[in-house]
Amino acid sequence: MPVRGSLVCLMSLVSLMSFACREPERLPQASLSVAGALRSDDNQGYARAIEPREFSFPKDHGPHPEFRTEWWYYTGNLSTQEGRRFGFQLTFFRSAFAPSMPERSSKWATRQAYLAHFTVSDIDGGRFHSFERWSRGALGLAGSRGEPFRVWLEDWSAEGDSTMRLRAAEDGIALDLVLQPGKPPVLQGVRGLSQKSAEPGNASYYYSLTRMPASGTVSLGNERFAVSGLAWMDREWSTSSLGQDQVGWDWFALQLGDGQDLMLYQLRRKDGTPDPASKGTLVGPRGESRHLDLQDFELEVTDWWESPRSGARYPAGWRLRIPSGNLDLRIEPLLAGQELDVSFQYWEGAVRVEGASRGQPVRGRGYVEMTGYTEALPR
């Protein structure tokens, strides 16, 4: 993903905690937007993504506290043996209050804040469930570590180095999955450096595990379902990303039946046109990858959906063409209403794919995220 939509909630959390000792009437009022949060000018003292680096696995699954923000992003499509379908999202975000912190005696002392989002799309039941948590990175409430890898917020967690386990539960909705490694990690952008705008340093270090066989359980109230399917892990860390003219993005993670995987994001400018920094990666069945620039793909919106909650009007169908890859795909949500009901509205959900690959019919599943379709929210 270029920079994920719910990161703005984490920036909100950082602001809230920074002012936690003030009187309520003195709390600042701010208008939050995803793009605004990711255009912060306060980057002194943090590392920035300037040039490609060497990656080391599983070490890089762990935290990179010298950067201001990072996230661990898991999505996937699951089904029971009888064919009942589910989508899921489990994501963890870390953001720093400051690049360093003086010695303090309080056990609450920390310079890190964590936020997590958990969703389950009950496709055949026609229900979408979304939850949010946030906490300081202190007293074991939330945190991340390297080898062995683990990131957690209370009892929501992702852990393991090659094989990973995901666990989350809220209000009777629960997820417990084991993810196998599948294909090797794919370095996005230029050897893992994903440039998001023209300014040097407006970039992230970004890799993906694009096809992780998944198995486990999904629980809805008193019902418990044994499920299997495919998951996708996106991993990024950065200090700044977006340029002044960028307002949102549409991000696609698609797993095709012929063994190919596709990550693609189209950044949108204020005038509605695609930004030249929009990019993608086409991953072959054996894990070989090919970089895509904006001129290498054509993305056309074919349908729209209006949220009854936020009033936002989101794309609800696309035609995607990649001539150099001989791909012509139609993408549709498996459930229209997959807008998260959390601190900041954005749409992220399971999709179906149909079309042609190298002249042959192909189907697939995936996830799409859309941000920048709602107005900035007063906080």
Q: Classify residue 178: in a domain, yes or no.
A: yes
Angstrom distance (rounded) from CA 267 to CA 196: 8
Angstrom distance (rounded) from CA 303 to CA 314: 9
Q: Classify residue 2: in a domain, yes or no.
A: no
φ, ψ of residue 357 in degrees (nearest 5): -130, 115
Q: Classify residue 1: in a domain, yes or no.
A: no
CA 140 to chain centre: 24
Q: Classify residue 30: in a domain, yes or no.
A: yes
Tokens representing 189? Answer: 């952008």
Total domain count for the chain? 1
φ, ψ of residue 11 in degrees (nearest 5): -65, -35
Contacts of 257 (CB under 8 A, 6+ apart): 362, 363, 364
CB 292 within 8 A of CB 265: no
CB 193 within 8 A of CB 49: yes
CB 119 within 8 A of CB 88: yes
φ, ψ of residue 7 in degrees (nearest 5): -60, -30
CA 33 to chain centre: 16
Q: What is the pLDDT of residue 104?
A: 77
Nearest to 194 by CA among 151, 240, 232, 161: 240
What tens digit of pLDDT does each residue of 82-103 get? 999 999 999 999 999 888 877 7
Q: Classify residue 374: in a domain, yes or no.
A: yes
Nearest to 251 by CA among 200, 315, 323: 315
Q: Tokens 């996937």, residue?
A: 76
Q: Classify residue 198: in a domain, yes or no.
A: yes
- The residue segments making up the domain with residue 23 are 7-378
- CATH number of the domain to which 170 belongs: 2.40.370.10
Q: Classify residue 110: in a domain, yes or no.
A: yes
CA distances, 124 to each of 46, 83, 128, 339, 340 (Å): 46, 9, 11, 17, 19
Angstrom distance (rounded) from CA 373 to CA 310: 10
CB 44 within 8 A of CB 98: no
- CA-angle at 286, arms to 267 and 83, nearest 5°: 75
C-alpha gyration radius of the chain: 20
Q: Which residues of the chain have pLDDT under 50?
A: 3-39, 376-379
Q: What is the pLDDT of residue 246?
A: 83
Instruction: Provide the pairing of β-strand 347-357 with 327-333.
Output: antiparallel
Angstrom distance (rounded) from CA 89 to CA 72: 11
φ, ψ of residue 294 in degrees (nearest 5): -55, -40
Q: What is the pLDDT of residue 44?
A: 83
